[in-house]
Structure formats: C-alpha cells, structure tokens
Amino acid sequence: MTVQIIDGKTIAESLKAKIKIQIAERVAKGFVQPGLATILIGEDPASQVYVRSKHRACEEAGIKSIGYNLPADTAQEKIERLIKELNLDISVHGILVQLPLPKNLDEEQILTSVALEKDVDGFHPINIGRLAQKGREPLAIPCTPAGVIYLLKTVLPSLEGKHAVVLGRSNIVGMPVSLLLVRENATVTICHSKTQNLPSVVREADILIAAIGRPEMVRGDWLKPGAVVIDVGVNRVEDPSRERGYRLVGDVAFEEACDIASAITPVPGGVGPMTIAMLLRNTLAAAERLGM
C-alpha cells in the first residue's frame, strides 16, 4: 500500500488564500478590517515563536493584529482588566490568550473573562461546554482540533462509524478533538498516561490522533494496516547534523508508520500550519458575527 502524505502546509496555504480574498471583499464593501489581539504572558520561547507566526499570518491575510507582551509576574487583575478593555474595543474582533500561562495565574478565570463572541481560540468554558453537548453549537472551535478534523476529512470525507483512538486528553488538543470526532459520529477511545496496553488499543484504530508530546513513541507495528494517522505532537530531538542542533519529530515514528498507514501527516508540515489557518478563519467569523 502506498501511503498518502497529508500535506498540511499546502492545505493551510490554500485555506489562507481563500480567507485573504474573503477579507479583501469585506473591506471593499466598507467593513472594517478584522482585528485580533494576542496576549502573551512570560518569556516561553515556543510561545513567542507561535505568537510571532500568528501575527505574520494575520498581516498576510489582511487582519489587523496587536500584541500585548506582559512579564511573567503580571498580576491576574491586570490581565483581566486588559481583557475587559479589549472586550469593549470595537476594532478588536478576536482575543487570544497564548497558553500555557505562568503557573501563578488562574487560567480558567482568564479564559472566562474573554467575551464569548471574541473567543477565537474556542477555549471559553461556554464554548467548550457547548462543544460537549448534543444539539448545541460553540461560537468557535479550538484551532488545532479544528485543523485535525479538516486534515482528516481530506482523506476520509465521512468519519461515521470509524473507530478513532485519541492519544492525549489535554484541554487544548486531546479532549476537544475527541468531542469533535464524536460530533462526526466516530466511535472514540481516549487514551492518556494511565491507559493500559496502549499498543493494543492503538491497533484497533481506523483513525489515530496522537497528541501526547512523546517523541516517536507510537511505533509502526502499533498501527492497524490502512489506518489514517494525524500526528499533532511537536517534539525536539537532538540532532548534531543540523545547524541548530535539533530536529522536530512527531509522536509517531514516521518512517515506520508510512509502511503500515494509508495516510499520515508529517511533522513539521502537518497539523502545525493548520492551527494558524483555523485562527484566521475564527477571527474572520468573529468579525462577521459582530457585524463590524
């Protein structure tokens, strides 16, 4: 069987190009440019890279973005005050608080203080609650999980009745992706660090979503032949042959998996670019919803 490599980079580029056109059409009709405010607290290098890429993508798409970079010791009240101001700012349609937050902060309280209609990350407890409830619709769906489903559907238009195994149950990836798969009528098994006999559970999967942050932990012989694999993991492993001294790998041993799976996302170039495309989509949708 020849494995299909799901090219997230190209798929995301084409999605971003469409969003750019939609934004230009809106602006030509006299609507204001969509606006995104990002809040980055602390100096986590990976978060700084992610936020910079988000601003660059906004600029390319025609979204006005403004960044608030605050020191790690910023008081909870000050962050909530800033969010309240942004909630009232009519030039801001989307507010993104970059996670993870420094440990001293109350993440739930901060995410709850973002106006529901400006929650472009989809992490507001009401949005997540609606995602979990039958017949309810969240205003925004978390970006990485939405990107996972989008990529999956490029190879499997219907997920109905498929057995999907999700590795990881985090608030930002594993759990929302599992909820989305249930909405697509897949049968979902959620695995985590306490799951027993992980390889045998994975072997049952028509669809495997790996989001555990463990470099190449899932081996090729764990997979069911013909499985579709979406690898969300982004892990640095030492590589003296690279100038920067490391390379990025996923949670799945890619080469081994290519011999067994029917389709797989690479790392990098798979889910990562989709996260940003989905953020742009959510920001445009928020601007449309706010009617501005």
**Options 54, 118, 162, 224, the catalytic residue:** 54
Which CB atom, from 127 or from 275, has the smaller least distance to ligand NAP? 275
Q: How far is the CB of 241 from ligand NAP (least distance, A)?
A: 22
Cβ(273)–Cβ(8) below 8 Å: yes
Cβ closest to ligand NAP, residue 92 vs residue 211: 211
Q: How far is the CB of 46 from ligand NAP (least distance, A)?
A: 8
Query: Which residues lie across from 187 on neighbouring strands?
Result: 163
Chain positions contacting ligand NAP, by CB under 6 A: 144, 167-170, 172-174, 191-195, 198, 211-214, 232-235, 271-272, 275
For the chain, the three-class secondary structure string (H helix, E strand, C coil) is CCCEECCHHHHHHHHHHHHHHHHHHHHHCCCCCCEEEEEEECCCHHHHHHHHHHHHHHHHHCCEEEEEEECCCCCHHHHHHHHHHHHHCCCCCEEEECCCCCCCCCHHHHHHHCCHHHECCCCCHHHHHHHHCCCCCCCCCCHHHHHHHHHHHHHCCCCCCCEEEEECCCCCCHHHHHHHHHHCCCEEEEECCCCCCHHHHHCCCCEEEECCCCCCCECHHHCCCCCEEEECCCEEEECCCCCCCEEEECCECHHHHHCCCCEECCCCCCHHHHHHHHHHHHHHHHHHHHCC
Per the residue annotation, which of 119, 121, 231, 251 is the catalytic one? 121
Of the two residues 87 and 195, which places its CB atom closer to ligand NAP in the complex?
195
Q: 54 catalytic, yes or no?
A: yes
98 given a catalytic annotation = yes
- How far is residue 159's CA from residue 151's CA, in Å, rounded to a whole number? 12
* 33 in active site: no
CB of 147 to ligand NAP, least distance (A): 7
- Minimum distance between the CB of residue 235 and ligand NAP, rounded to whole angstroms? 5
- Which C-beta is closer to ligand NAP: that of 112 or that of 170? 170
Of 33, 98, 119, 206, which residue is the catalytic one? 98
Least CB distance to ligand NAP at residue 195 (A): 6
CB 124, min distance to ligand NAP, A: 18
- Please say which residue, 173 or 229, places its beta carbon nearer to ligand NAP: 173
Contact present, 270 and 10 (Cβ < 8 Å) = no
* Tokens 């012989």 found at: 221
Query: Which tokens go with 249?
Result: 């790998």
In the bound state with ligand NAP, the residue whose beta carbon lies nearer, of 13 and 73, is 13
Residues annotated as catalytic (active site), given as ranges: 54, 98, 121
